[in-house]
Amino acid sequence: MNILVVGRGGREHSIVMNLAESNTINQLYAAPGNGGIAEMATCVEISEMDIDRLVGFAKENTIDLTIVGPENPLLAGIANRFQEENLAIFAPTKEAALLEGSKQFAKTFMQNYDIPTAEHASFTDADDAKKYIEAKGAPIVVKADGLAAGKGVVVAETEKEAIDAVDDMLVNKAFAEAGATIVIEECLIGKEFSLMAFVHENNVYPMIPARDHKRAYDDDQGPNTGGMGAYAPVPDISQETLDYTVVRILQKTADGLMNEGRPFTGILYAGLIMTDNGPKVIEFNTRFGDPETQVVLPLLTNDLLQVLRDVMNGTDPALEWEEQCCAGVVVAAKGYPASYNKGIPLTEMQLNGDGFVVHAGTKKADSGLVSDGGRVLLVGAKGSSLSRAVEVSYNCLGSLALSNEFFYRRDIGKK
């Protein structure tokens, strides 16, 4: 088969790494890909948002299946266009992807289908939002309604922080149209975890749980990011909790989308928090999580391509997982998630040890491999225990010749 992966980040590199092990793939392409992906797939210089060119490429190169990594092309309707052209694609339509594209839609959806989540309200007027905050008190969470690359969420410890976030989003337009509507919700207390599932219409096939670390710096300090590291599975989440999550959250979501005429095909990601009253949804994503994918897929023993084909055909893929743990630490450019430099040389990418490197924001230049994003690499490892996987990851990280233009957290998976 000829396969096309759409995207340029760490999640897409992880997908390509797994697909490259399949013996049923003839040609593996990535658009646009990155410096690491280029080592195992043919990268084509087509933006993930240039849907017309992607459709043309799929036709010209007899692509049997396209797999979409990032969220923006999903909301732009890439799956709809491919389906109109009778091209096979593993991705939700823009109607189904609205579950991630609008937090207001997601909250209303969860309310309608009795899916456990935080108490909330939506606002377009700053004064009304501030009155709500003053009535509810802090801590409280302020979210931009639309896509904001994982950065449109403020967990405010004080009312002033929350009011500043309202001004930032509604008055100063920090997230442009993505923040034209905001959602304010109660601050849930508990340990967070993520659960992804392969979904086709009413069929839901859960993966193993993962936990990522959102804050930029050690001890969960600093601003929220797209994720600074992750591990899987999650030892403190019981099988009973996972079973409840699949039935009460993932399955009800898939069924609700079908009921609304928005049938879902792709990866359904539930960002969850374990409260005293059970797991509740913090957010939905409608694609593989990043960086969770980088620590979940290495533990999958099935042929990933066969899994996707089975799911799309309505067949149980019979998922099997290694009896190991996997951890990964993100290397980011200094300044991330605010402004940062690109084009920083990456001179030595060979690891000493049993780990692996996933490229998130790299590209090949005349001078060699250079950084091309805020999150640049993920260095990961598998181990017989979480502590062992973490130890090997950091040992491998220490063997890389990284300049002081990069930073990483030193406490991933250690709590």
Does 202 lie in the same domain as 296? Answer: yes
Inside any domain, residue 42: yes
Inside any domain, residue 160: yes
pLDDT the model gives residue 412: 97
Count of Cβ atoms closer than 10 Å to residue 178 Cβ: 21
Q: Tokens for 222?
A: 């600093």
Cβ proximity of 304 and 19 under 8 Å: yes
3-state secondary structure 329-369: EEEEECCCCCCCCCCCECCCCCCCCCCEEEECCEEEECCEE
Inside any domain, residue 108: no
Cβ proximity of 285 and 271 under 8 Å: yes
Inside any domain, residue 111: no
Does 359 lie in the same domain as 264? Answer: no
Q: Is the dihedral of CA 326, 332, 335, 340 positive or negative?
A: negative
In the DSSP assignment, the letter for residue 236 is T
Sequence-distant (≥ 6) Cβ neighbours of residue 112 within 8 angstroms? 256
Closest CA to 329 of 397, 273, 264: 397
Closest CA to 360 of 282, 280, 292: 292
Does 308 lie in the same domain as 219? Answer: yes
Inside any domain, residue 101: no
Does 154 lie in the same domain as 48? Answer: no
Inside any domain, residue 105: no
Does 206 lie in the same domain as 300? Answer: yes
CATH number at residue 265: 3.30.470.20
Q: Is the dihedral of CA 115, 116, 117, 119 positive or negative?
A: positive
Question: What's the CA gap between 79 and 97, in Å, rounded?
Answer: 10
Domain count, the chain: 4
CATH number at residue 385: 3.90.600.10
Sequence-distant (≥ 6) Cβ neighbours of residue 183 within 8 angstroms? 103, 104, 107, 120, 121, 122, 123, 142, 143, 145
Does 277 lie in the same domain as 164? Answer: no
Range of the domain at 125: 119-186
Does 68 lie in the same domain as 8? Answer: yes
Question: What's the CA gap between 384 and 376, in Å, rounded?
Answer: 27
pLDDT the model gives residue 348: 66
pLDDT by 10s per residue, the chain, length 415: 999 999 999 999 999 999 999 999 999 999 999 999 999 999 999 999 999 999 999 999 999 999 999 999 999 999 999 999 999 999 999 999 999 999 999 999 999 999 999 999 999 999 999 999 999 999 999 999 888 766 788 889 999 999 999 999 998 888 888 888 999 999 999 999 999 999 999 999 999 999 999 999 999 999 888 899 999 999 999 999 999 999 999 999 999 999 999 999 999 999 999 999 999 999 999 999 999 999 999 999 999 999 999 999 999 999 999 999 999 999 999 999 999 999 999 876 667 668 999 999 999 988 888 999 999 999 999 999 999 999 999 999 888 878 899 999 999 998 7
**CA 248 from chain center: how many Å?**
22
Does 147 lie in the same domain as 58? Answer: no
Burial of 388 (0-12, 13-18, 19+ CB in 10 A): middle
CATH number at residue 75: 3.40.50.20
CATH number at residue 124: 3.30.1490.20
| Domain boundary pick from 312, 338, 356 | 312
Does 68 lie in the same domain as 154? Answer: no
Instruction: Identify any residues that bridge with 364 across adjacent strands, giving them in sequence order.
Output: 369
Read off the amino acid at residue 239: Q
Closest CA to 166 of 123, 225, 105: 123
**Counting every residue, how long is the chain?**
415
Q: Tokens for 294?
A: 């980088």
Inside any domain, residue 284: yes
Cβ proximity of 371 and 333 under 8 Å: yes
